[in-house]
Amino acid sequence: MSDERTLDLLEAKIEELRQLNSADGIDLSKEIARLEEKLDHLRQKLYANLSDWERVKLARHPKRPYALDYLQSAFEGFYELRGDRVVGDDRALLAGLARLGGRTVVVLAQQKGRTTEENKERYFGMPRPQGFRKARRAIQLADRFGFPLVSLIDTPGAYPGLEAEEHNVGATIAESLLAMAEARVPTLAVVIGEGGSGGALAIGLADCVLMLENAIFSVITPEGAASILWKDKDKAKEAASALQMTADRLLALGLIDGIIPEPLGGAHRDAAKTSAALQSELVRRLAELEVIPAEDRRRRRDARYRAIGRFRPAPMRDPEAPAAPEGAVRD
Amino acid sequence: MSLFKERQYVRIRVDREADDSLWMKCKACGELVFKRRVRENNNICPNCGEYFFLTAGERIESLVDPGSFEDLTAPIVTDDPLGFVDSQPYSDRLREAQEKTSLLDAVVIGRAAIDGVPVILGAMDFRFIGGSMGSVMGEQLCRAMETAIAEHRAFVLVSSSGGARIQEGMFSLLQMAKTVTVRRHLAEAGLPFLSVMAYPTSGGVQASIASLGDILIAEKGALIGFAGRRVIQQTISEELPQHFQTESFALERGQIDRVARREDLRDELALALGYFVEAR
């Protein structure tokens, strides 16, 4: 994103002028105001009409706030619970107790790394079976004590690897889904960046599903779809549009409950503001959910998922039409 | 055999020519084999034992008591909610698949008896866009489980699927959550769910409904796993074992309860179901 560079340079310039302004007593406020106006214009121009592919890039932006950033700003006192009690602790999928608006919640969160070193430890935010088993444990803990559950989703997907398959990653995703379907406590999921396929959904079966404005949620990465369906890796942009993975599209399709706005240019342009918006929306939604009796809430969640799918009656059969040859051997 | 006499498939235009060639070449051993022999042998090569795909219809026929199957597949087709077009419109792919299989989507469900035990049975058909799960499969599976609950029957599902159907985007991914939700209802009703994993049981199907059976039975020759071999090889440069994601790989690692040969699968299901019938 070279336009981002221009924005960065302008911001740096403004900051520089501000410091000069206060240090030397020279009045640069007019110059600063002029540059700020220019910056605003540029932002508007760049971000008012983002393409789907640009949103994919924003959702994956290396400066984008990650789960731990929100855990430190929108939540209080994150008390991490580690380990799956079987083979290890996944650093890509975190679990723990925290306070949200003064009350105890259980948080599940996928965490990407900032540095190469950290990404090595966190597998670029791709959870492994130990992570999904830990998630299940945390969901059950929340349910046992009546703590609401909040999931912060940000992953390219489950980690594809030999060991993950040996430890039956698919079944651990299924078990995590089942635990979420069983939970009687209020459950909230927010896609804060990338919602990549089954690895994301594993912690995303919830009473209320939200997305940050520039987050994406998809059955497959655009690159994966491009290579499977278009047989051409360069068609990722087309795939990103065809898959309808942006927050506004998914809201229009009725698959999510709401969008949390981001500052112009993306969450990373003003992390504090994004975090404040996230916090107030979580608190508001939680209050809405909590007034519903537990059994009704779960019935509503059941009905919500039961209703997902778009189909129509098949065209009626022509009774005169010849029957298909039954069960011929495939060549 | 008039197993499907009462089937109510809405037949989309079917103009496939009658298959009147008598012989086929086995892709494994290269031997020319008599087609009817292959068919009578559960689609297993009489020469080398290679398994060929079973269609959903053939699968059902191979498992249920003769004449017991009653098709309950809802006459619905996907709405193509994204109006998806890749190198080809999804609507075209669907029509081709419907013509090729004479099915409306990739799963058939119905009432049946297996050795006298009343069940609701679902069987996926890999020929239909890789047996992938979109809106229609998710709905059929949920209706199947709900019928099992209403009629107090066991649920038997034979999976053969590459996973979620990409062309329906998030609608497909969320079928995982949908089927898992109704699977919970089946469990609450105290009804057994026998999940049979055939070639292949992978992706979003393996990561949801197929892995949540009370008993998991793999058919010999199955492929069981979440991520595909190629995806894994692209991500890591590790050498994958020869029998990676096969039924023996899954059995050794504690991922499944049992393995059955295709010709024994009916007896295997009857045996397992028997314990639940006694317990009821």
Q: Per-residue confidence of chain B (280 residues) as pLDDT tens digits?
A: 334 444 444 443 334 445 567 888 888 888 888 888 887 888 888 888 888 889 999 999 999 999 999 999 999 999 999 999 998 999 999 999 999 999 999 999 999 999 999 999 999 999 999 999 999 999 999 999 999 999 999 999 999 999 999 999 999 999 999 999 999 999 999 999 999 999 999 999 999 999 999 999 999 999 999 998 888 888 777 789 989 999 999 999 999 999 999 999 999 999 999 999 864 4
Structural domain includes residue A290: yes
> Which residues have a Cβ under 8 Å from the Cβ of A112 and sit 6 or more positions away?
A66, A92, A119, A122, A124, A125, A154, A155, A193
* Tens digit of each residue's pLDDT (9 = 90 or more) over B48-68: 888 888 999 999 999 999 999
**Nearest CB to A225; choose among B11, B166, B244:** B166
Structural domain includes residue B1: no
Structural domain includes residue B2: no
| Residues B138 and B238 occupy one common structural domain | yes
Structural domain includes residue A237: yes
**A contacts of B14 (beta carbons < 8 Å):** 321-324
| Residues B66 and B91 occupy one common structural domain | yes
| Residues B106 and B210 occupy one common structural domain | yes
Query: The domain that contains B75 carries what CATH number?
Result: 3.90.226.10
**B contacts of A310 (beta carbons < 8 Å):** 78-81, 135, 168, 171
Q: Do the chains contact at B253 and A167, CB–CB below 8 Å?
A: yes
| Residues B224 and B89 occupy one common structural domain | yes
What pTM does this model have?
0.89
| Residues B40 and B158 occupy one common structural domain | no
Which single residue is written with the structure tokens 């793999």? B218
| Residues B45 and B130 occupy one common structural domain | no
Chosen domain end from B52, B69, B85: B52
- If one counts the domains in chain A, the total is 1
CA–CA separation, B200 and A3 (whole Å): 46
**Nearest CB to A305; choose among B84, B181, B244:** B181
- If one counts the domains in chain B, the total is 2
| Residues B199 and B231 occupy one common structural domain | yes
**A contacts of B75 (beta carbons < 8 Å):** 313-314
CA–CA separation, A329 and B45 (whole Å): 11
**B contacts of A235 (beta carbons < 8 Å):** 86
Can you count the helices (H) and strands (E) in chain A? Answer: 14, 9
Q: Do the chains contact at A174 and B135, CB–CB below 8 Å?
A: no
| Coil, helix or strand at residue B166 | helix
Question: By residue range, what is the domain housing residue B138?
Answer: 54-279
| ipTM of predicted assembly, 2 dp | 0.90
| Residues B180 and B223 occupy one common structural domain | yes
Structural domain includes residue B6: no
| Residues B39 and B124 occupy one common structural domain | no
B214 CB-contact burial (10 Å; exposed 0-12 / middle 13-18 / buried 19+): middle
Q: Take residue B145 and report the two structure tokens written for it.
A: 């489980």
Structural domain includes residue A10: no
Structural domain includes residue A51: no
Q: Do the chains contact at B104 and A314, CB–CB below 8 Å?
A: yes
| Residues B123 and B261 occupy one common structural domain | yes
Structural domain includes residue A150: yes
Question: By residue range, what is the domain housing residue A181?
Answer: 57-306
| Residues B97 and B148 occupy one common structural domain | yes
* Tens digit of each residue's pLDDT (9 = 90 or more) over A32-66: 888 888 888 887 777 778 899 999 999 999 999 99
Query: The domain that contains A262 carries what CATH number?
Result: 3.90.226.10
